[in-house]
């Protein structure tokens, strides 16, 4: 089903959110592949989503419980991690019609949010350890036991779930969130509130950036190769303070303020007197307070019109404790030479602002080879595909 609309309607679908996190037995029997469902129509109300002129959105895959981080293999297999559901999925579109026709649950792990792919291997990050499944796409039906890359990272669950990705330098980047809403956790372990990096085998681990409260999405600029990341602002300072952030790392070792300063100019009421905001790197763009920015990607392909090229798209997962909900959309930060020139909505409608009901929460973004965008949704349990079908043609 393809939809282009700009009207809001009352939401008819509500999916309950569990707040308890269960950890499955590591020796539990793996689930068998799900049936093919490419002919089964989706029931998700995507006609309520608002897109810009010329774009359309379709359901790429549904019934993907808790779909979060995404990575794609050399042969086109889409790997998807989860948080609460403890599942790792492999999704295939074998007839290349941009609708999944095979979904498999590969493994049951403890909070396997982080997913990355490199040189034929799938890397999966749990809270305290990293696993590697070699030659994964040829072994989907008989998954071998994984290799343990490391098992010595902090194990606190609070902000412990990982987003991982390989950089253009070939290193694997792994964040370690602050184990709290607000605290100076680095006095316990300097890896807290940081982004670390390492070689693919887990060696040469080091801290790459400091003062990062909880990043669950980062990427590299297609031209400068610099790392850009989203960061979730602290809670309990009110509905509109502090802002969440889009940041750029210009060099290793930079500090982005947490827990002393938020959003570049908001002094923390507990820790702000210790170090001034002037000591830290401000965000490229202050995002909405409590919008919970997660996945971020730059569009560098040829499908979207030229005016979208090399700008940052952000999945705003949406607030959980604000008096009225915000986020629940895909936003776009337009850039000019690393400077933000606008912060705009690209897709919204997962949240009905009047009723405050929602049917989806965007998590991660991924661009396919044809230039179309995939969006994961851990509330609607789906993967969406956004493509451009207008008259304007993107230039090289």
DSSP labels for 338-393? TEEEEEEEEEB-SEETTTTEES--EEEEEE-TTS-EEEEETTTTEEEEEEE-SS--
**Structure token digits, residue 350:** 């997962």
- Cα end-to-end distance, the chain, whole Å: 30
Exposed/middle/buried for residue 92 (C-beta within 10 Å: 0-12, 13-18, 19+)? buried
Reported as half-sphere exposure (CB side, CA atoms, 13 A), residue 366 has a value of 26
pLDDT value, residue 284: 98
Spans of the chain, pLDDT less than 50: 1-39, 394-396
In this structure, is residue 262 part of a structural domain?
A: yes
pLDDT value, residue 391: 80
Q: Pick the closest to residue 63 from 84, 83, 91 (CA basis).
A: 91
Q: What's the domain count of the chain?
A: 1
- Tokens 């947490």 appear where? 258
Look at residue 270 and tell me if it is in a domain: yes
- Tell me whether residue 258 is in a domain: yes
pLDDT at 43: 87
Whether pTM > 0.85 for this model: the answer is yes
Distances (CA, A) of 260 to 81, 93, 252: 32, 47, 20
Helix (H) or strand (E) holding 81: strand 78-81
Tell me if 122 sits within 8 A of 79, measured CB to CB.
yes
**3-state DSSP percent of the chain in helix, strand and coil, to 5:** 5, 35, 60
Does residue 5 sit within a domain?
Answer: no
Sheet holding 87-92, edge to edge: 70-72, 78-81, 87-92, 102-108
Q: What is the pLDDT of residue 11?
A: 32
For residue 74, the enclosing domain spans: 46-388
Q: What is the pLDDT of residue 42?
A: 77
Looking at the domain assignment, is residue 29 inside a domain?
no
Judge whether 84 and 42 are in contact, CB under 8 Å: no
**What pLDDT sits at residue 392?**
64
| Residue 222 in tokens | 């297609």
Cβ neighbours of residue 390 under 8 Å, at least 6 residues apart?
53, 54, 55, 305
75, 270, 276, 339, 374 from 383: Cα distances, Å: 18, 40, 42, 31, 6
Q: What is the pLDDT of residue 96?
A: 95
Angstrom distance (rounded) from CA 39 to CA 130: 36
pLDDT at 40: 55
Question: CATH code at 184?
Answer: 2.120.10.30
């Amino acid at each position: 089903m393809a939809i282009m609309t700009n009207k809001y309607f009352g939401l008819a679908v509500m999916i309950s959110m569990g707040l308890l996190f269960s950890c499955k037995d590591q020796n539990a029997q793996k689930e068998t592949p799900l049936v093919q469902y490419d002919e089964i129509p989706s029931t998700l109300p995507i006609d309520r989503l608002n897109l810009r002129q010329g774009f359309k959105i379709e359901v790429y895959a549904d019934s993907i419980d808790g779909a979060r981080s995404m990575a794609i293999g050399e042969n086109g297999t889409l790997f998807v991690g989860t948080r609460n559901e403890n599942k790792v999925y492999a999704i295939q579109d074998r007839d290349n019609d941009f609708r999944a026709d095979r979904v498999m649950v590969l493994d049951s792990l403890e909070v396997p949010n982080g997913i990355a792919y490199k040189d034929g291997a799938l890397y999966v990050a749990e809270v305290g350890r990293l696993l590697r499944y070699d030659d994964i796409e040829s072994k989907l039906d008989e998954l071998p036991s994984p290799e343990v890359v490391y098992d010595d990272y902090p194990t606190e669950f609070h902000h412990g779930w990982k987003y991982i990705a390989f950089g253009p330098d070939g290193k694997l980047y792994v964040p370690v969130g602050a184990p709290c809403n607000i605290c100076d956790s680095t006095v316990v372990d300097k890896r807290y509130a940081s982004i670390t990096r390492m070689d693919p085998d887990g060696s040469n681990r080091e801290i790459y950036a400091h003062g990062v409260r909880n990043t669950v999405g980062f990427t590299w600029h297609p031209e400068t190769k610099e790392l850009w990341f989203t960061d979730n602002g602290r809670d309990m300072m009110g509905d509109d303070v502090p802002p969440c952030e889009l940041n750029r790392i210009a060099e290793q070792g930079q500090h982005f303020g947490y827990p002393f300063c938020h959003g570049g100019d908001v002094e923390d009421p507990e820790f702000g007197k210790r170090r001034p905001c002037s000591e830290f790197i401000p965000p490229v763009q202050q995002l909405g307070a409590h919008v919970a920015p997660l996945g971020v990607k730059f569009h560098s392909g040829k499908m979207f019109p030229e005016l979208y090229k090399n700008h940052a798209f952000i999945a705003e997962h949406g607030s959980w404790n604000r008096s009225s909900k915000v986020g629940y959309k895909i936003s776009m930060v337009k850039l000019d030479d690393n400077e933000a020139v606008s912060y705009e909505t690209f897709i919204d409608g997962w949240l009905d602002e009047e009723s405050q009901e929602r049917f989806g929460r965007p998590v991660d973004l991924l661009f396919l080879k044809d230039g179309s965008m995939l969006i994961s949704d851990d509330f609607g349990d789906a993967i969406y595909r956004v493509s451009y079908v207008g008259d304007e043609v993107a230039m090289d």
